[in-house]
Structure 1
Amino acid sequence: MHCHPVLFQMNKVNMKFVIKNIAKSSGRLGQLRIKEDVELSTPLLMQTTKGGSIPYLSAEVFEMLLKQQQQQQFLLQLTLCSMDQMAESLGQWSRSLCDYVGYPGQSTLLLLRDPCEATPTGGNDRDVVPMFTRRGKEALTAKRYMEMVAQFRPDVYQGMCDADTHPESTKKRVQKSVDRTEKFMEECYAEQAGKQESFSQCTMLAPLVGGYSTYARTQSIQHARKQPSESYGGYIFEGFHTNGLAATNLKSEQLLPIVEHCMQQLETDKPRFMPGAFTPPLTLELIRLGADVFDTSYAYLAAANYKALTFNYDKDAVPAVQAVFLDVTDDELKEQFTPLLSNCSCLACRQHTRAYLHHLYKTHELLGPILLMMHNLHHYLGFFEVIRTQLAQDELPQLLALLTSQGSYSIQPNTKVIAKAAMGKGFSSNAA
């Protein structure tokens, strides 16, 4: 089934979502306009940051990488837990948040938690959620959260929620996450409505929580949909995992029925955000169900754990089936003077070899993770470009079949021992 392009007004600050195509078996294509002159194609890959920066890469290197992909605009995913210490200075900053972090003209999304780092469980209270920063755990009220959002002034931000659930969470914990999220969101909506000038250029995403309970998820959706449609511009799914490597180990048979249940209850005119390091096959399944926006935390976690992404997403490539990862710690690489991936055009593959990357690992050089991150981002951006092409042709199932034939995409934590003298100079010893 194909549909004619339909334009939906998402909120009063001219954020718009255009559905270009809904395919019979392959999800949906769209255009997301967050700023008046910035249009982003969906399914969209947000650029995950740590402390406002693309991990391992300078702004200049990242922009060079984007030019290779013929992309100019992107969505920066920022996290409050890694940037909270900047709130006071941002409150006095007269320009935009994207200017502050060194990416002028781009769009920004502010999350509470870092999808790259495992979020500790516990520490929840009726009126606060824990925020884990470099200084330790801090208790965050909804009022304080909205004050910080007003200081950051992102283009998009998520509403505050209790997302401390995972596949093994008890029914009691799941219900508490929903009840507390509803309470937090009532305060967020009230703050947003009462201080319209502070939030005039910001669009809120309504968080959907409820763990792996269809009943709890429905309750969360119903609370969001009772609000005026202009009070939020889209949905963000939370509470499926505890971030970090946990997202790469989710079981599709557990997750997908819950997501499908939720998607059937959401209106089509608002985008659906899915933060976290979902594996490529699971990402395709989520897109098939109607998810629109993902992030690059999977590419980062692979690089931080010594892995180059080498899975094949080109159905015409020979061989069609190949290894999902290349682990640069493997000793057999020390005499392999070939690129990380033979058909890759990234700088790391054009100018360096597997043996050199292995040498950088052995000598704890910072250039090692830089080159791996360049390659992984290049590879993952190319993957999403192919996803959009396959969606247009209604051939997503064929791409999914190609990916699933190549093995496991779960990222296991690095357990290799690194001398303490080298810690912080290159590859990390624990990226879980």
Structure 2
Amino acid sequence: MKFVIKSISKNSGRLGQLRIKESQELATPLLMQTTKGGSIPYLTADAFEMVSNEQQLLQLTLSTMDQMAESLALWTRPLSDYVGLPGHNTVLMIRDPCETTPAGGNDRDVMPLFTRRGKESLTATQYMEMVAKFAPDVYQGLCDADTNPESTKKRVQKSVDRTERFMNECYALHGKEQRLANSTLLAPIVGGYNTFARTQSIKHAKEQPAGSYGGYILEGFHTNGLAATTLSAAQLLPIVEHCLQQLEDDKPRLMPGAFTPLLTLELIRRGVDVFDTSYAYCAAANYKALTFSYTKDAVQHAAFLDLTDDEIKEQFTPLLSGCTCLACSKHTRAYIHHLYKTHELLGPILLMIHNLHHYLGFFAAIRSSIAADQLPELIEHVRLQNTDAEIDYRIEANAKVISKAAMGKGFIAAAV
């Protein structure tokens, strides 16, 4: 994996080019496509081509794909071919950023892996053996990321110590696994919201021989799922800035999680390079279409359109005026609300198409703003949306009840 900085600005962050193997260069700040079980949520490969036909970086998660390891051990073609999305690059991560990761199960020499079948425990050796079966283009090192803003100092220090033990084995085994010869390892940086612990984690990574890893993944800030949308910028940003000041410029920095658009912009301004689409999924899973504006206009915008609101049942307009996605070009708010009411499978498909299209456009606007050194102006526009108060981008679980007969069909049933 090769990463090159194209431009860097104190006010607007940095632009880069990421090349994985012999693929085309991917522009950063970059949006990884979050998957579940190897598939983009709600969408087939053909449906996703209606969103984008450009090369993507697929975010695969071990917690949703561990059952595929045995068959993948016999697979000789790229991992992206196996999941039905050929031609794309792959990043294998441990946890699903779309769902809350349960706490606990942190024994000394094993890491808990929460799958659909329940909790499993992996040693560092077992983890590397499993990763070798997947043979992804990029993968994260094993780490204890079970920390959040409420974690105690003792829990934070344990996460750092356990991660160091795990990574000592990962570094040693990375060069020995033949199936990982062309894979890039990401060094995890953990330590919760403790600057001393974060510095200790960074120091351990930088002590490794040159070429041991190709980038960084900053973990341990949240428990994934909707929790990431509620993080306090005042609490998170100083810790992230503290970490980034100690990292080399020529290695990409990843931060998984459903960060709000506003927090994402602030992280980009400080130098984070790669994010994922879990925010777009979390909105869709809770019946919300993204409607915030990332282009300057004089119209007031809301963060979301709630498709469960009865007031839109006779609104024969697109989800978002001016949007060119398939959902907005061919269908109306009233029709998609009808799909929700009747539990039709097409409903979440159209909603996910819109949200992904909108978020990809958002990142294209971010790159353009950085190139023009105008990211602060974009941040202010996203913050206020031409209103007098800061927009709330947090996603709350939709508490509306769906009958048991509709469970598992179309729009998912929200927990109450």
Which TM bucket (shorter chain)?
Answer: over 0.9
Structure 1 residue 359 and structure 2 residue 338: aligned? Answer: yes
- Rounded to whole Å, the distance in 1 between the matches of 2:34 and 2:189 is 21
Give the aligned partner of residue 298 of structure 2: 318
Offset at residue 63 of structure 1 (A): 1.4
Quick check: 1:379 aligned with 2:358? Answer: yes
Question: What is the alpha-carbon distance in structure 1 between the residues aligned to residue 269 and residue 293 of structure 2?
Answer: 19
Whether 1:251 aligns to 2:237 is: no
CA separation in 2, counterparts of 1:351 and 1:293?
Answer: 32
Aligned equivalents of 1:145, 1:339: Cα separation in 2: 46
CA 378–140 in structure 1, closer or farther in 2 if over 3 Å, else same: same
Q: Distance in 2 between matches of 1:419 and 1:112?
A: 33
Q: Report the CA distance between 1:228 and its aligned residue.
A: 1.3
Give the 3-state SS of the residue equivalent to 2:16 in structure 1: strand
Q: Which residue among 57, 60, 70 is the counterpart of 2:43?
A: 57
SS of equivalent residue, structure 1 residue 255: helix
Amino acid at match of 2:221: F
Distance 1:295 1:193 in 2: 28
Matches within 5 A, 1:27-38: 27-38=13-24
Where does residue 388 of structure 2 map in the other structure?
A: none
Amino acid at match of 1:56: Y
Asked if 1 retains the 8 angstrom alpha-carbon contact of 2:175 and 2:181, the reply is: no
The alignment status of 1:332 with 2:280, answered yes or no, reads no
One-letter amino acid of the counterpart of residue 318, structure 1: A
Aligned equivalents of 2:248 and 2:415: distance in 1? 37
CA distance in 1, matches of 2:55, 2:263: 26
Question: Does the Cα contact within 8 Å between 2:399 and 2:415 map onto a contact in 1?
Answer: no
Amino acid at match of 1:366: L
- Measured in 2, the distance between the counterparts of 1:203 and 1:171 equals 32
Q: Is the 8 A contact 2:148 2:193 kept in 1?
A: yes
Q: CA deviation at 1:431?
A: 7.1
Secondary structure of the residue that 1:275 maps to in structure 2? coil
Deviation per residue, 1:363-422 (Å, 9 max, x gap): 111111110000000000000000000000010000000111141000000100000000
Check whether the contact 1:415–1:429 (CA below 8 A) recurs between aligned residues. Answer: no
The aligned amino acid for 1:91 is A
For 2:266 and 2:76, the matched residues in 1 are separated by 42
Match of 1:77 among 59, 65, 69: 59
| Distance of 1:363 and 1:267 partners within structure 2 | 52
Identity %: 73
CA deviation map 1:168-224 (0-9, x unaligned): 0000000000000000000101111333x2311110000000000000000000000
Work out the CA distance in 1 between the residues paired with 2:274 and 2:370: 14
The number of aligned residues is 411
The whole-number CA distance in structure 2 between the counterparts of 1:92 and 1:199 is: 14
Structure 2 residue corresponding to 1:213, chosen from 194, 216, 220:
194
Tell me which residue corresponds to 2:263: 282
- Render the CA deviation track for 1:206-256: whole Å, top value 9, x for unaligned: 000000000000000000000012010000010000000000000000000
8 Å CA contact 2:401, 2:414 repeated in 1? no
Query: Counterpart amino acid of 1:241?
Result: H
Aligned pair partner of 1:183 in 165, 171, 190: 165
Give the drift of 1:24: 2.8
Structure 1 residues without counterparts, runs of 5 or longer: 1-14
Task: Find the aligned partners of 2:247 and 2:281 in 1 and give their Cα distance.
Answer: 31
Contact 1:334-1:354 at 8 Å conserved across structures: yes
* Alpha-carbon displacement from aligned partner over 1:108-137 (angstroms, at most 9, x marks no partner): 000000000100001111001110011100
RMSD: 1.0
Counterpart pick for 1:260 among 241, 252, 260: 241
Q: TM-score, normalised by structure 2?
A: 0.98
Matching residue within 279, 293, 296 for 2:274: 293
Indicate which of 103, 124, 136 corresponds to 2:106: 124
Q: Give how far 1:64 is off.
A: 2.2
- 1:155 is aligned to 137
What CA distance in whole angstroms lies between the structure 2 residues aligned with 1:198 and 1:343? 47
Letter in 2 for 1:420: K
One-letter amino acid of the counterpart of residue 277, structure 1: A
TM-superposed deviation, 1:103:
1.3
TM-score scaled to structure 1, two decimals? 0.94
Q: Indicate if the aligned counterparts of 2:69 and 2:133 stay in contact, CA closer than 8 A.
A: yes
CA offsets per residue over residues 286-326 of structure 1, 9 Å max, x none?
000000000000000000000000001001x231x311100
Q: Give how far 1:36 is off.
A: 1.1
The answer to whether the 8 A contact 2:50-2:326 is kept is: no
Q: CA deviation at 1:143?
A: 0.4
Contact persistence 1:24–1:394 (CA under 8 A):
no
Q: Report the AA paired with residue 8 of structure 2.
A: I
3-state SS, counterpart of residue 59 of structure 2: strand
In structure 2, the partner of 1:24 is 10
The one-letter code of the counterpart of 1:175 is Q
1:84-163 correspondence to structure 2 within 5 Å? 84-163=66-145
CA distance in 1, matches of 2:245, 2:120: 36
Distance 2:211 2:414 in 1: 43
Residue segments in structure 2 that go unaligned for 5+ positions in a row: 386-390
Partner of 2:203: 222
SS in 1 for 2:279: helix
The answer to whether 1:394 aligns with 2:373 is: yes
Query: What residue in structure 2 maps to residue 412 of structure 1?
Result: 396
Q: Match of 2:277, as an amino acid?
A: T
Matches of 1:431 and 1:214, distance apart in 2: 36
